[in-house]
Amino acid sequence: MSSQILNAAICCVLLMLVANNLPCSNVEMKRIPVNTSSHYQNLVAGNNRPSTADKNETYIQTTQMYHNNINQWSKTDGVDIVVPSGLGTRAEGGDSSSYDSIRRDRDNGELKYMLRSILQNAPWVKHIFVIVNGNVEAPSNWFSARLKFVNRCSYMPSGTCPTRNSHAVLTNLYLFSELSERFILAEDDIFLCVPVNESFFFKTRAKPYVFHNSGTHGIYKRIPKQLRGKTLPVSNGGTPHFWCPMLKSVVREIAEKYPEYTKFVSSHRSGRFSSIANGPNDGHNSQEEDPLGVWQAYLKRTRNGAPKNILYPGHGIADWEADPNKPAQLAKAFSMHPLPVFININDVYSTNPYDYKEQQARVHGYLEKLFQAPKL
């Protein structure tokens, strides 16, 4: 009889612990549902320093909570997304037979999924500008009147276009008249995997976040003779794979403050400049003139931007690179729970036509499942 009473008492205590969500090493507690995580809510709300406890939480926002916030952000002056793309007429430059040049120029069919990721997870965006080479029409079955393909030569300085150098295209982005003051730079192989709102990218209307909050360094490993003695910006690149919020006025300010540098970058039409090669070189894939590094370093130094850490250890929240050559690693990236905010599919596809087709189909299968076609 006494043992029955003791067992009943133990059961009561255990039930009380569960009901009050108290820790107990002998009870398997039900975790807070992932979609109510305070850590993720802190991030999308723009809070820069979640507590230590929050960092151990998962961070998927509830769909209902997210969509309840959309109207709040649509009342602002709007944020555009800019996507540099190699679509269109191939500009001169590079060795069409080399692997590095093939990677630089080929279209892996991922752009439509990247655009779907915007519609699905950031529907508050005002315009989506895809910057292409030449006059390219957006496919009729792609979504939204907010999408526009822009000929980069329509705003690039005379004599600098057509170009296959995205660094030059972005350095001159302030010349694109239709672009809003606030915009987000998003590469076509970096996908937004979870809902975020505007305050994830901007602390205030006039202050974008600086996600890559690292030390700065000189632009070039070897300063080109054309720029010796000139005032040059600094950089905090290479930059991890995430989208970069920016102000159009700051891009203009940088161009006007460093005119010789801006003109030099713009002159590299055949590819990305490498100071080691003293010219464009696809093999080096140089990030020296990458505007993301220049922009973020400038935002931080002038205090036009606010540092924000989104690279919490163990979460991979900002930057998760998926390798098409490694099926197991690719499967892991897309089965993470919760998903990282951004997933990058780096172009390390095979040049063998059969292998390439197989790898591409595998990647597209994951993307199709994650980013389904919108109902128009």
Q: Per-residue pLDDT for 150 more than 90? A: yes
Least confident of 59-68, 126-135, 276-285, 310-319: 59-68
Percent pLDDT > 70 in the chain is 69
pLDDT band at residue 264 using 50, 70 and 90 as cut-offs: very high
Q: Per-residue pLDDT for 297 more than 80? A: yes
Domains of the chain, start order: 63-370 (3.90.550.10)
Q: Per-residue pLDDT for 200 more than 70? A: yes
pLDDT band at residue 22 using 50, 70 and 90 as cut-offs: very low
Q: Per-residue pLDDT for 15 more than 50? A: no
Q: What is residue 226's predicted lDDT score, i.e. its pLDDT?
A: 94
Q: What is residue 86's predicted lDDT score, i.e. its pLDDT?
A: 78
Q: What is residue 145's predicted lDDT score, i.e. its pLDDT?
A: 75
pLDDT band at residue 376 using 50, 70 and 90 as cut-offs: low
Q: Per-residue pLDDT for 42 more than 60? A: no
User: What digits encode the pLDDT tens for the residues 208-251?
Assistant: 999 887 889 999 999 999 999 999 999 987 767 889 999 999 99
Q: What is residue 90's predicted lDDT score, i.e. its pLDDT?
A: 58
**Averaged confidence pLDDT in the chain:** 76
pLDDT band at residue 7 using 50, 70 and 90 as cut-offs: low
pLDDT top residue among 42 and 154: 154
Most confident of the ranges 73-77, 97-101, 108-112, 325-329: 108-112
User: What digits encode the pLDDT tens for the residues 327-343?
Assistant: 888 888 888 877 888 88
pLDDT top residue among 10 and 50: 10
Q: What is residue 152's predicted lDDT score, i.e. its pLDDT?
A: 94
Q: What is residue 35's predicted lDDT score, i.e. its pLDDT?
A: 31
Q: Per-residue pLDDT for 373 more than 70? A: yes
Closest CA to 242 of 189, 198, 177: 189
Percent pLDDT > 90 in the chain is 41
Token code pair at residue 234: 């600094």
Q: Per-residue pLDDT for 94 more than 60? A: no
- Three-class SS of the chain: CHHHHHHHHHHHHHHHHHHCCCCCCCCCCCCCCCCECHHHHHHHCCCCCCCHHHHCCCCCECHHHHHHHHHHHHCCCCCEEEEEEEEECCCCCCCCCCHHHHHHHCCCCCHHHHHHHHHHHCCCCCCEEEEEECCCCCCCCCCCCCEEEEEHHHCCCCCCCCCCCHHHHHHCHHHCCCCCCEEEECCCCEEECCCCCHHHCEEECCEEEECCCCCCEECCCCCCHHHCCCCCCEECCCCCCCCEEEEHHHHHHHHHHCHHHHHHHHCCCCCCEECCCCEECCCCCCCCCCHHHHHHHHHHHHCCCEECCCCCCCCCCCCEEECCCCHHHHHHHHHCCCCCCEEEECCCCCCCHHHHHHHHHHHHHHHHHHCCCCCC
Q: Per-residue pLDDT for 254 more than 90? A: yes
pLDDT top residue among 95 and 265: 265
Most confident of the ranges 227-241, 262-276, 292-306: 292-306
Average pLDDT over residues 6-30: 39
pLDDT band at residue 350 using 50, 70 and 90 as cut-offs: confident
User: What digits encode the pLDDT tens for the residues 43-82?
Assistant: 444 444 333 333 333 333 333 333 344 444 444 479 999 9
pLDDT band at residue 106 using 50, 70 and 90 as cut-offs: low
- The pTM of this model reads 0.77
